[in-house]
Amino acid sequence: MNGLGGLNKSPNGVVIGLVQLQLPVVATPDDLAAQTARIVEMVGKARRNLGTMDLVVFPEYALHGLSMDTNPDIMCRMDGPEVAAFKKACIDNRIWGCFSIMEYNPDGNPWNTGLVIDDQGEVKLYYRKLHPWVPVEPWEPGDLGIPVIEGPKGCKLALIICHDGMFPEMARECAYKGAEIMLRTAGYTAPIRDSWRFTNQANAFQNLMVTANVCMCGSDGSFDSMGEGMIVNFDGQVIAHGTTGRADEIITAEVRPDLVREARIHWGVENNIYQFGHRGYVAVKGGAQDCPYTFMTDMVAGKYRLPWEDEVVHTDGTSCGFDAPTRVYGEKAHKDAAE
């Protein structure tokens, strides 16, 4: 059930709109201002499109396009005009919004940042992408973890970005911290279509969690993004899917966080988010609660290493035209950065 795309909204429903936004070309501050205005217009379209909509979600790269340009002149700041425009759009249209910015970082490369703003214009969720899509993306790895907030109508809401969703640990962390709905915004192009679909479904089913996922759409003359707005219920079933690749189409559905909560409490078979930490509870009281996973214990100990580590070919961004970095994680890019 998706309430006919949210037309028939239940008292416990949250209606989500996923904007398959036309892929832009943004190279100058004027381009950035024009694309900001375009996104604001689309917030208005979302509200006019469906009066029951609670949350409108824009893809990763909605503001900056896919150029991977780190020019400081077109990077955003949290107190800058772009974020201010998004806040006003949410207030004016009485709607929550999820937005993407490339954020200026005085200590290194820019962050790939996602924001959720409520209908009062307040930033409720602030997330920096943990897993940039290497070797293609130059963004600084995120350092804020994965926040989970109280979203529209009291739902527990998380946001991850694009490549993040290829790591099952990301969705598991969202669910472990209580998320009932996980947003995944992306700029992916057509070669990723199949893996996009099955990871969105797996992330939902493995965690008894709704996933709402959307990419940029259309061509910028170089790249072809695929749209693929996709809302998946907590049982892994797709309840809305933008399969036409039509730019600026808004894919909508009603989801039910109350049924997520019910399943997490009452399911026996396939309650995987609970059973992961309570292995074999039929045989032993409470289940085994150890950590039998070598990759987890090695990562915590700072010694994560693959058996084929020395044979990995791509270990920096040089194949995509970026200089090999010399700065280690946590080190400031400029000596005066702390002043």
Whether the Cβ atoms of residue 24 and residue 67 lie closer than 8 Å to each other: no
What's the 3-state SS for 171-231?
HHHHHHCCCCEEEEEECCEHHHHHHHHHHHHHHHHCCCCEEEEEECEEECCCCEEECCCEE
H or E segment and range at residue 252: strand 250-255
For 76, counting Cβ atoms within 10 Å of its Cβ (0-12 exposed, 13-18 middle, 19+ buried), the class is buried
Is 254 marked active-site? no
> Residue 135, preceding bond cis, omega within 30 degrees?
yes
Contact residues for 107 (Cβ-Cβ < 8 A; gap 6+): 332, 333, 334, 337
Q: Which residues contact 231 (CB under 8 A, 6 or more apart)?
A: 2, 16, 18, 210, 211, 212, 213, 238, 239, 240, 241, 251, 253, 255
- Residue 169 known to be catalytic: no
Is residue 66 within 8 Å of 188, Cβ to Cβ? no
162 noted as active-site residue: yes
Beta-bridge mates of residue 339: none
Q: Of 76, 129, 228, 254, which is the active-site residue?
A: 129
Active-site option among 162, 174, 215, 217: 162
At 314, list the tokens.
Answer: 């791509």
The answer to whether 187 and 211 are in contact (CB under 8 A) is no
Cα 31 to Cα 25, 26, 87, 148, distances in angstroms: 8, 5, 20, 33
Report, as residue numbers or ranges, the catalytic residues.
Answer: 60, 129, 162
